[in-house]
């Protein structure tokens, strides 16, 4: 399977922001299906790492549809918070993954840790694990990371998730302030794709 060129696949995510970005990174000759065209829920993500959760989703959607599946599991790690929220990034937003709530929780946790955190550089990174699988078989997996810092307030209305509070290293703007075309060339998903694209 890994030696054959993939000409169609399903993107295993119900997150519209991720779906948009992954579509933009995939080769144009691949026919892309999204989970919105099928009537089933997302699987329970009970892995302990981004890689495990990415494979859980990829395997699940592939088995459900009979298609090769590309799935992403990603999140924000903040060093001073012991790398939280990490694999629980979406869950910090509650049942509906409301990232406005999640961002408020980040700031609450930072205030608990250090009331003067706004005067410091709070190191953080976005992590993305991508998995391509066909039913139970893992074809390929990769990890991409981008290092940066947490901004002292949300800035920008572009992107999704924690983008408004993440400033990539050597940049002055948050991902939320960048145009998608700028962000897509430097973020964690882009670096994960660079490693996995030979299988596509």
Using one digit for the tens of pLDDT, what is the confidence trace for 45-71?
999 999 999 999 999 999 999 999 999
**Residue with structure tokens 């709530």?**
101
**42 contact partners, CB below 8 Å, separation of at least 6:** 14, 35, 57, 60
50 close to 127: Cβ distance less than 8 angstroms: yes
pLDDT at 151: 98
> pLDDT > 70: what percent of the chain?
98
Residue 62 is part of which domain span? 8-199
- Does residue 3 form part of some domain? no
6-57 tens-digit pLDDT: 899 999 988 888 999 999 999 899 999 999 888 778 899 999 999 999 999 9
Is 82 annotated in the active site?
no
Residue tagged active-site, from 72, 73, 163, 187? 73
Tell me the two tokens of residue 169.
């290293």
Domain count, the chain: 1
pLDDT at 109: 98
Confidence check: pLDDT of 1 > 70: no
Confidence check: pLDDT of 159 > 60: yes
Cis link prior to 85 (omega < 30° from 0)?
yes
CATH number at residue 171: 3.90.950.10
- Does residue 178 form part of some domain? yes
- Does residue 1 form part of some domain? no
pLDDT at 200: 83
| Structure confidence at residue 4 as a pLDDT band (50, 70, 90) | low
- Does residue 168 form part of some domain? yes
- Does residue 45 form part of some domain? yes
- Does residue 131 form part of some domain? yes
pLDDT at 36: 83
Confidence check: pLDDT of 3 > 80: no
126-142 tens-digit pLDDT: 999 999 999 999 999 99
> CA–CA separation, 184 vs 24, rounded Å?
8
């Amino acid at each position: 399977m890994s030696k054959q060129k993939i000409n169609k696949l399903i993107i295993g995510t119900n997150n519209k922001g991720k779906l948009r970005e992954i579509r933009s990174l995939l080769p144009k000759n691949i026919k892309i299906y999204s989970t919105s065209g099928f009537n089933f829920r997302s699987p329970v993500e009970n892995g302990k790492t981004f890689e495990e959760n990415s494979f859980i989703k990829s395997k699940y959607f592939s088995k459900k549809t009979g298609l090769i599946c590309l799935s992403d599991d990603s999140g924000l790690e903040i060093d001073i918070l012991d790398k939280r929220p990490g694999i629980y990034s979406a869950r910090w937003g509650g049942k509906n993954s409301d990232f406005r709530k999640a961002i408020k929780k980040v700031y609450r946790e930072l205030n608990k840790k250090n009331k003067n955190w706004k005067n410091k550089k709070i190191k953080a990174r976005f992590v993305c694990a991508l998995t391509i699988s066909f039913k139970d078989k893992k074809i390929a997996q990769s990890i991409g990371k981008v290092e940066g810092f947490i901004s002292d307030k949300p800035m920008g209305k572009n992107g999704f998730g924690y983008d408004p509070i993440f400033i990539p290293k050597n940049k002055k703007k948050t991902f939320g302030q960048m145009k998608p075309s700028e962000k897509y060339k430097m973020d964690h998903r882009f670096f994960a794709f660079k490693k996995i694209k030979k299988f596509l």
